[in-house]
Amino acid sequence: MLLCVALACVTPLNYSSALPTALFFQGQEKPQAPRNERLREELLRMRDDDQAARQRWTDAKFSEQASREMLALDEKHTARLRAIFRKHGFPGVRLVGKDGANAAHTLLMHTPSLDLKKEGLVYLEEAAKNGEVPMHAVAVLKDKVLVAEGKPQFYGMHFDLIDGKFVLDLKNVVDPARLEKRRAEVGLPPLAEYAKGLEELYKVPAVVLNEQLLNP
């Protein structure tokens, strides 16, 4: 299972979250050529820089220095994303192609700004209504915002990195008995499959606590 590198960690910088977006546009029809190729190329460059920073962070075993460098890049990208959103809304497939829209989503997930995440969620929901992005792109960002606000998540997409393991406690998920149904409705994989993908990508165990809540 392919996953985008939206990494999870618990550090003094409070940078956290893990989610898949490689499946972002799976199953959608091939769109026409993007209307704004220059913006598409810019988003892809930003995405490549983002992924390289996260690879360095992984290679450095989640070190403080690598975390600081990653966060500094995220803050730079935040300013640019804010300008893009306010000019174009969320850049969807018609504007920047599937890969450009996927890049914009990845960058939005990684911004340290909760305000921009919440603003971006509004734009993303509108894009989903217009068929510009799939609903699971909205779902993963919604969980990101909920967790940042100290609220239970809805889709179980946020794993914390604790003592060298990715951890999701189902006590911190709304109505876990219906979690798998909600995930399926928006095109997300089953929780066990998602956790396995995290392990395969990052070579770190992924643990789901209180699994009995899935089937009370």
- Predicted pLDDT at 30: 55
Q: Is residue 189 part of a domain?
A: no
**164 SS3 class:** coil
**Which residues touch 48 (CB under 8 Å, ≥6 apart)?**
none
Q: Is residue 191 part of a domain?
A: no
Q: Is residue 60 part of a domain?
A: yes
Domain range enclosing 67: 37-148
**36 SS3 class:** coil
Q: Is residue 85 part of a domain?
A: yes
Q: Is residue 24 part of a domain?
A: no
Q: Is the dihedral of CA 122, 119, 91, 27 positive or negative?
A: negative
Q: How many domains does the chain have?
A: 1
147-174 b/e (C-beta count within 10 Å ≥ 16 → b): bbeeeebbbbbbbbbeeeebbbbbebbe
Q: Is residue 214 part of a domain?
A: no
Q: Is residue 113 part of a domain?
A: yes
C-alpha to C-alpha distance for 107 and 14, rounded to whole angstroms:
17
Distances (CA, A) of 14 to 9, 161, 172, 209: 8, 11, 18, 21
Note the pLDDT tens digit of each residue in 178-211. Answer: 999 999 999 999 999 999 998 888 788 999 999 9
Query: What percentage of the chain reaches a pLDDT higher than 90?
Result: 69
Looking up tokens 């920073």 gives 53
Q: Is residue 179 part of a domain?
A: no
What's the half-sphere exposure (Cβ side, CA atoms, 13 Å) at 65? 3
C-alpha to C-alpha distance for 107 and 6, rounded to whole angstroms:
9
- Predicted pLDDT at 4: 32
- Predicted pLDDT at 116: 97
Note the pLDDT tens digit of each residue in 66-97. Answer: 899 999 999 999 999 999 999 999 999 999 99
Torsion angles phi and psi, residue 173, rounded to 5? -120, 135
